[in-house]
Amino acid sequence: MTRNTTEADLRFGSFLLSPSRKVLLDGDKPVRLGSRAFDLLVALVERGGQVVSRKELEALVWPATVVEETSLRVHVSALRKLLGDGHDGARFITNVPGRGYCFVSPVVALPSSHDEHHHAVSTPHNLPVHLTAMIGRAEAVEQLSALLPERRFVTIAGPGGMGKTTVALAVAEQLLGLFGDGVRFVDLAPIAQEPRVADAVATALEVSASRDHALPALCSFLRDKRFLIVLDNCEHVIDAAAYVAEILLKSATHLSILATSREPLLAEGEWVYRLPPLGMPSPSEELTAARALEFPAIRLFAQRAGAAADGYSLSDADAPLLGRLCRQLDGIPLAIEFAAARVDSLGVRGLAAGLSDRLRLLTRGRRTDLPRHRTLKATLDWSFKLLSIPEQIVLSRVAVFVEAFTLDAARAVASDERISRGEVAECVVNLVAKSLISSFTGDSVIRYRQLETTRAYALEQLIAGGESAHASERHALYFLELLTRAEEDWSSMPRAAWIESYCASMEDVWIAIGWCFSSDENAGVGVRLTAAALLPVYELGLLDAHYGRIDQALQRIHLLTPEQPEIEMRLNAALLFPGGRLDYQRQPLAEVVERNLDLARRLRKPKYHVAALYGLWGRHFRMGEYALAMAVAREMKACALDAADPEALLLSDRLLAQSGHFMGDHMEALRHARSVLREPSRRMPLEYVSPVPHSVAMRVVLARTLWLQGAADQALAMADECMQYAAANPFAFTQSLALAACPIALWRGEKKRARELVDKLIEHSARHPSAYWQPWGHCYHAVLSIQEVEATSADPRLSGLMPETTNVMVQDCIATLSEEDIGETVLQRVLDGRVGWCAAEVLRRHGESILKHGSTEATVSEAESLFTRSLEISRKQGAQAWELRAATSLGRLWRSCGRATAASQLVRSSFERFTEGLEDADLRTARDLLEEMA
């Protein structure tokens, strides 16, 4: 009998049951249930009010299994106790003597997205989807699901192919409701080096971190989070996996880790669960087909054989043979699957005979003396020998791929004079059918992958055949050709399709670069490949992880013959973007910029001159030298016009908008920003690429400028729009928060919104750290803390709260939020005319600070001079927001000096020009002052 499953969630008493999500909640707290108890509860609740017989329940909860008569009674009793049933045991479940059980509590069906429980059953995760049903592991999953929350650190240990990953994924799914911050699956199989274990964890958690700083970044991010991390395939990086697990668990008290490995990690706090083989019949068992299917090992074989050979059905005659075969395979699921895949060609009898001969040869007749993991190797040896010569060649050669690969990639790497591209494709298809390669489909591309055990075996064959270097060379050349094609398709292919086609194999690209740099003979290919990888590196936000390879490439750039200065320019340009890996920068930015200018002069092409100017502009802009940045942007505009280069014109307008705004030329900035946004969306050439797209950068300028011009509500809407455009790009989202959303909320005095945005910025910066941008969130947090201190009339100074930073851009911004942090550097930059956008407000706040420390005739005169100058600058710039503040400060001062009429006229003339944002803090302050002077 089949269950009438429903997509609806079911409410009874204080409980909420979600069959589709396999979650039971008591209020908002998950209730831990074993898989059988959960299935039993669903069967009863979905048939609420009906009597369900013992036979029917057993068929639902224990399909194809003989169940002891007492099992159901024991499970019902435990279920009643867990639900807190009354003393009479009849509040939810009643026993109808002679007939069965009935769920008697009223049940209400709710949509599965119902708000009351959405947060509790929508735990974020990246768990792969099961394509086939798990067989014979329900007990292990139930035990581990109870063990992990108690122990926090559990390793599922066992031989290769035992099904450790399958069980770990099932446990993770079972426990989704317990980990509110998320469950993350980390496949360590593609990781070639132990130091990259922390990087892999950071990638799965979407925490941007450099290779040397990944672990501290993870500790910081996970400290107060409730996460489950599944570390899969730890054996080849076991020391690093153990170290990372120990450090993370000590740093994050709510973190749990579930690991899989062929051997225990031997780490502190580890609890080892040894996964047993699938259940098998004993040699003395007399098997019929029906009886044989009660054993998980045989049931797995029958299911996989049925998938490999249409129409296969287990017969009574085959049952004893399968019992013996599964025992010979030690009940290892992967070995059973390998064997089942050959039923179509060998039949059960031929399969059993062939495998028996092979195992006897390997074990020398002493089956019991061989460790279990050797059985899988025996299966692989046997399967390998059954392949045709071309299939053996292809299986070995494609083992150089550490990630999934396409059929084109397999053709490029595995074909040569011995085997054609067409034969390679045919062999890959055959190997999929034989379960030696798996396949899966993305949006538009079919990809293939070897299982970890198969790949390790195939690599041994590749090395033994003396073909490792040949395959690695073709592997590197393939990715060089692929990424060269990626640049050609960059401007024409839709972004999602481009990413799927060209960004799915970065581990393979990095493995190829590492192999190239292992000798000078192939270093030239490594240099080219490092430069060609920059586009996907920018698109995926992997610049920090790529810095070390850029450094290696620049050290070997002299090996390119003939010289290729355009490649050196690209590599140098990557060093100019603000990132987190300052330690890889062997020379000062000024030298990198000067080198690129020299290379551009040698290339004598306008696009390279524009690219070099772009780097120079970036250096000036990062250092807060906006006048110099403006001059470079204007030079770039002239060059773009001369060359009639539309992309360079677009880039120069962008840089003019950004430079103009920060210099205080807001009308000019507004004009250029709107001009850029009017242009059709296009993807820039690699020389002009920025980690932040035009659509975000220009909306940052518009949001800030609108607020300064007094259009506070429009500015708020533009800041929200900016965040939406930046959502898919981690680096751009940082900028949208740091430069637009957070400061606008703070300037408006919206403390609740500001707190939410600042917290978001700090959390986002923990995931995607950058030496340049990370201080922003902490500085804003300090400002909010000071404002809260001021509200309690305590000492409002920032001392001890404001993080130290040499980032002049953030210093300028913080100076507009608190006069207590207007240092000499910021004030001098304003007085020297090196920064304009904040000049009026910095001078005004400096005046307020002077008045706080005394009201002598000299201090009053100095403050009045500063307020007057602030008023003049703000009016000249059209910065209405700064003008209102300056007018309010000056009006308050005039009133204290007996000039109330002039003060009222001054404040009113500025106040009445505002048509929106009327409840913002500045407008409320001005309105209160006017009422006091009325």
3-state secondary structure of 126: coil
Report the C-alpha gap between 420 and 724 in whole angstroms: 49
Question: Quick one: pLDDT band at residue 373, thresholds 50, 70, 90?
Answer: very low
Among the ranges given (668-672, 772-776, 781-785), the one the predictor scored with the smallest mean pLDDT: 772-776
What is the DSSP annotation of 729-791? -HHHHHHIIIIIIHHHHHHHT-HHHHHHHHHHHHHHHHHS--TTTHHHHHHHHHHHHHHHHHH
Report the C-alpha gap between 766 and 222 in whole angstroms: 9
| Residues 123-274, CATH architecture | 3-Layer(aba) Sandwich (3.40)
Phi, psi of 350 (to 5 degrees): -65, -35
Report the C-alpha gap between 3 and 57 in whole angstroms: 10
What is the DSSP annotation of 453-483? HHHHHHHHHHHHTT-HHHHHHHHHHHHHHHH
Q: What is the pLDDT of residue 371?
A: 39
Question: Quick one: pLDDT band at residue 385, thresholds 50, 70, 90?
Answer: confident
Residue with tokens 């409730």: 226
Cα 900 to the chain's mean position, in Å? 59
pLDDT in tens, 142-180: 999 999 999 999 999 887 778 898 899 999 988 988 998
pLDDT in tens, 607-654: 999 999 999 998 899 889 999 999 999 999 999 999 999 999 999 999
Among the ranges given (39-43, 115-119, 423-427), the one the predictor scored with the smallest mean pLDDT: 115-119
Q: Is residue 718 predicted with pLDDT exceeding 60?
A: yes
Q: What is the pLDDT of residue 4?
A: 45
* E strand segments, 151-283: 153-157, 182-187, 227-232, 256-261, 271-274
Among the ranges given (2-16, 338-352, 729-743), the one the predictor scored with the smallest mean pLDDT: 2-16
What is the DSSP annotation of 506-544? HHHHHHHHHHHTTSGGGHHHHHHHHHHTHHHHHHHT-HH
- Give the pairing type, strands 29-30 and 23-26: antiparallel
Per CATH, 9-120 and 123-274 having the same topology is answered no
Are the C-beta atoms of residues 632 and 616 closer than 8 Å to each other? yes
What average pLDDT does the structure give for the chain?
85
* E strand segments, 327-470: 405-406, 438-441, 446-449
Among the ranges given (280-294, 592-606, 797-811), the one the predictor scored with the smallest mean pLDDT: 797-811
Are the C-beta atoms of residues 592 and 575 closer than 8 Å to each other? yes
Q: Is residue 69 predicted with pLDDT exceeding 60?
A: no
Report the C-alpha gap between 704 and 159 in whole angstroms: 60
B/e letters for 530-557, b = 16+ CB within 10 Å, e = fewer, are: bbbbbbbbbbbbbbbbbbbbbbbbbebb
pLDDT in tens, 287-327: 898 999 999 999 988 888 877 666 678 889 889 988 988 88
Say which residue, 643 or 798, is predicted with more confidence. 643
Question: Quick one: pLDDT band at residue 32, thresholds 50, 70, 90?
Answer: low
Q: What is the pLDDT of residue 71?
A: 59
Strands, sheet with 271-274, edge to edge from the N-terminal-most edge strand? 182-187, 227-232, 256-261, 153-157, 271-274
Burial of 416 (0-12, 13-18, 19+ CB in 10 A): middle
Residue with tokens 């049933």: 85
Query: How many C-beta atoms lie closer than 10 Å to residue 496's C-beta?
Result: 10
Amino acid at 751: K
pLDDT in tens, 820-830: 667 788 999 99
3-state secondary structure of 29: strand
Are the C-beta atoms of residues 242 and 199 closer than 8 Å to each other? no
pLDDT in tens, 97-114: 778 888 888 887 776 544
For the segment 262-278, the average pLDDT, to the nearest whole number, is 91
Q: Is residue 734 predicted with pLDDT exceeding 50?
A: yes
Q: What is the pLDDT of residue 112?
A: 55
Burial of 901 (0-12, 13-18, 19+ CB in 10 A): exposed
Would you list the domain boundaries of the chain? Answer: 9-120, 123-274, 289-378, 387-466, 468-585
Q: What is the pLDDT of residue 800?
A: 52
Among the ranges given (86-95, 149-158, 794-803, 874-883), the one the predictor scored with the smallest mean pLDDT: 794-803
User: Can you list the alpha helix ranges (DSSP code H) found in 122-234?
Assistant: 138-151, 164-174, 197-204, 214-222
Q: Is residue 242 predicted with pLDDT exceeding 60?
A: yes
Report the C-alpha gap between 203 and 207 in whole angstroms: 6
The region that residue 163 occupies, defined by phi over 0 for left and psi between -120 and 50 for alpha, beta otherwise, is left
pTM, two decimal places: 0.72
Helix (H) or strand (E) holding 92: none
Both tokens of residue 249? Answer: 């668990």
Question: Quick one: pLDDT band at residue 120, thresholds 50, 70, 90?
Answer: very low
Question: Quick one: pLDDT band at residue 586, thresholds 50, 70, 90?
Answer: low
Q: Is residue 95 predicted with pLDDT exceeding 90?
A: no
Are the C-beta atoms of residues 157 and 264 closer than 8 Å to each other? yes
pLDDT in tens, 828-848: 999 999 999 999 999 999 999
Q: Is residue 2 predicted with pLDDT exceeding 50?
A: no
Report the C-alpha gap between 60 and 35 in whole angstroms: 12
For the segment 365-377, the average pLDDT, to the nearest whole number, is 42
Q: What is the pLDDT of residue 3?
A: 43
| Residues 387-466, CATH architecture | Orthogonal Bundle (1.10)
**Across 25-34, 284-293, 528-537, 803-812, which has the greatest mean pLDDT?**
528-537
Phi, psi of 183 (to 5 degrees): -125, 130
Q: CB within 8 A of 540, min separation 6: which ones?
A: 499, 503, 506
CATH 3.30.450.40, applies to 9-120: no
Among the ranges given (355-369, 462-476, 878-892), the one the predictor scored with the smallest mean pLDDT: 355-369
